Each structure stands twice: as C-alpha cells, then as structure tokens.
Amino acid sequence: MLDSMSTVGVDWDTGASPPIPNGILPCSDSLWAFPEHIINVWSFGQFRYSSAFSLCIILSTNELWFVHGFLQKTWDLNNANDRIQWQTEAQKIDERLTAWREEFVAAVYRLINAEFAEEERAEMDPNIVLTNCVLDVAVILLFQRMSTIPREIDPSTEPWQYATNRCIYACDNMVFKVRQMTDEELAVSNPHLIFCFFTVARFYIVFKSMQKQSTPTYLVG
C-alpha cells in the first residue's frame, strides 16, 4: 500500500502488481483488531460496509495501479495522435477515479452508521482523510502535465483547460478537507499526508505564478 502511494507520479516502472479481481479484505474496523487466525476464517460475505483501512488499501492496490501505468508510458505530446490518445486515456482514468470516489463516499457513510454512529467527527478518521487526499493527488498527478504550466518547465505541451480545471478542483477539495481538521486530528494523521500537501502546494504555486496571482496564504508559512 505504502509503495503504491509513495511512488505515484514517478516515471519508472514500480513493478506494481495488477489489481486482483474481487479481492477480499476484512470489512469491519473492529475485525482488524482480531488475531490473524480469526480474520482468516471469518465469513466476509455478511458485511455490507468496508473498514476505513480496507478502503485505503483498495484505492492503493487497485485504482492507483491504472494511474501508475498511465504515467509510466512514453508520450510525444507534440504529436497530434499521441496528444489525443493521452487526453482520451487520462479522461477514462479520471472517470474511473470519480466513480470510485462516489462509491467511497457511500461506503464511508455505511461504515459510520454501522460502527461510529455515536462519534461526532467519524469522517475525520485518519484513513478516511488519507484516502480522500490520495484521490485528489492522483487527479493532480494525472493531469498536471497538460495543465497551465510555464513553458520553461515543459515546452513540449500546450495547456488543456480540462486538465487545469481538474487539477484546481482536486487542490481545492483537499485544502477544504484538511482545513476542517483539528490540531488533535492532524497530530494523529498519516505521515503520507505530507506528500499530498507537497503535491497540492507545488501545483498551486506554479499555477498562481502563471496567473500572476499571489500564492494563497494558507500555503505560506
């Protein structure tokens, strides 16, 4: 899981295994606390919701695999055919991530109702926050190459407004989520959020520089 998250965006083959169809994971947060031998014999079919940890693993091992594969391909974006193919494939993966996000939101709702109905801020569980942020990072890394970036960074590409819009949406979505966190929630958050913060800040700074705008104050300091 950590390998998949920490290497998303790199341009070398990470050797990630393809998704396992219908892979089974423990679906209750309570179940993860049981001894391993109990987990191995548990009947998974009775659960109608997934644990926050399971959802994070599913995103990392299944959905990010498609992002890895796309980003590791070689593209000549000066070539019209390559450019069209790049846009087509990127949009298909983005649509897949969007569909998964909708399923994720529904799964979190079922999970909270089933196990954390008495908790006021159950949606700020570290694994739920991490999954949200990694989803946004995947969108940014997927599209940033064809977003509005300085020519001196990548002179081979012309900006694609759809890519820019998706990157901005993902950045804003993550910032909104993180700014809702309390100091206590940040203190127990997953360390991998640092990579997520860096990805958003880097895009914002470059984009705002292109727009001749100042960097948002919440990214400074």
pLDDT digit string, tens, across residues 143-199: 998 887 655 555 566 778 899 999 999 999 999 999 999 999 999 999 999 999 999
- The larger pLDDT score, comparing residue 27 to residue 57, is at 57
> Which pLDDT belongs to residue 128?
94
Q: What pLDDT is attached to residue 75? A: 84
> The tokens 């990157």 sit on which residue?
167
Spell out the residues 6+ positions from residue 175 whose beta carbon is closer than 8 angstroms to its own.
200, 216, 218
Q: Token pair for residue 15? A: 């050797």
Spatial CA neighbour of 26 closest among 10, 7, 41? 41
Q: Cα torsion for 209, 152, 201, 162, to the nearest 10°?
A: 80
**Whether the predicted pLDDT of 142 surpasses 60:** yes
Residues with Cβ < 8 Å from 34, sequence gap 6 or more? 42
- The pLDDT score that the predictor gives to residue 220 is 46
Task: Give me the chain's average pLDDT, please.
Answer: 79
The more confidently predicted of residues 210 and 129 is 129
pLDDT exceeds cutoff 50 at 211: yes
Query: For position 216, what pLDDT does the model report?
Result: 55
Contact 203, 150 (CB under 8 A): no
DSSP assignment of 124-192 = G-HHHHHHHHHHHHHHHHHHGGGSS--TTT-TT----HHHHHHHHHHHHHHHHHHHT--HHHHHTS-TT
Give the 3-state secondary structure of residue 53. helix
pLDDT in tens, 43-52: 444 445 578 8
Nearest to 125 by CA among 194, 55, 195: 55
| Mean pLDDT on 68-95 | 91
- What is the chain's percent helix, strand, coil content, to nearest 5? 65, 0, 35
Q: What are phi and psi of 18, to 5 degrees?
A: -65, 160
DSSP state of 47: -
Highest mean pLDDT (candidates 11-15, 35-39, 48-52, 76-80): 76-80
